[in-house]
Homo-oligomer: A and B are copies of this chain.
Amino acid sequence: MNVGEHPTAQTHAHGTVLTSAPQDAPVDRATAAARRVIDAMLRTDRGNANLDRVAEELNSIADHLEEHAPEVAERLIDMWGGEGVTRHDPVTGPENAIAPPLVLAGLDDGSVQGVVTLTLPYQGPPGCVHGGVSALILDHVLGVANAWGGKAGMTAQLNVRYHRPTPLFEPLTITGKQMSVEGRKIHTVGDIKTETGDVCVSVEGLFIDAAVPRPR
């Protein structure tokens, strides 16, 4: 990631939003609606008599969206245009229906933080967040923490510790902070806490100052 174009703790104010906020744009509204469908599909009665009609309608929407899609190579160039924050990642991306999406702000102690409530699509053990989903969110948050810290890179190693089950349906505070940069090695930590401050999952990440080039 080229962090030259990213806000950092050195250049920007406490509370700067670091992720791409959902906008009043048709694609953001459509993605938010798709997110509702994903969640409701898991909650609806399995015997819902209209599920075949729902399948037909969703396939027809997918057909329409695909008919208006450029080639993937072309779309990738568009997706990665500019140097700023992208809008499509699976954690914070307002254009990705898989993303909760988490919104992160940079704090003046060098950390980044956001609050998110996860629902049934993210379930692992009964009523709890999937351990792999916690790892997905934390990996992404460490990446954003690195950009805010001023030096970003690619994940080389992630050490995730699970302290207690992480609840669904409750606000979770997700934090990440860059701890040190030694040459090309970047050390970053993070955690997921409940509203009462209990640490459910913590992570230590090693990142390497490298990047896959943006397609042009």
Contacts and interface: CB of A to CB of B under 8 A. Distances in A.
A41 interface: yes
A17 interface: no
Nearest to A52: B26
Interface string A12-44: 000000000000001101111110111111111
Given A124-B89, A212-B125, A140 B135 contact: no
A125 B76 CA distance: 11
Interface in A77-122: 78-80, 88-91, 95-98, 120-122
B40 A128 contact: no
Interface residues of A, number: 86
A26 B40 CA distance: 15
A5 interface: no
Interface of A: 26-27, 29-34, 36-46, 48, 50-52, 54-59, 61-62, 64-66, 68-70, 72, 75-76, 78-80, 88-91, 95-98, 120-128, 130-133, 135-140, 154-162, 165, 169, 211-215
Contact of A161 (B38, B54, B72, B156): B156
Contacts of A140: 130, 132
Contact of A33 (B58, B95, B157, B214): B58
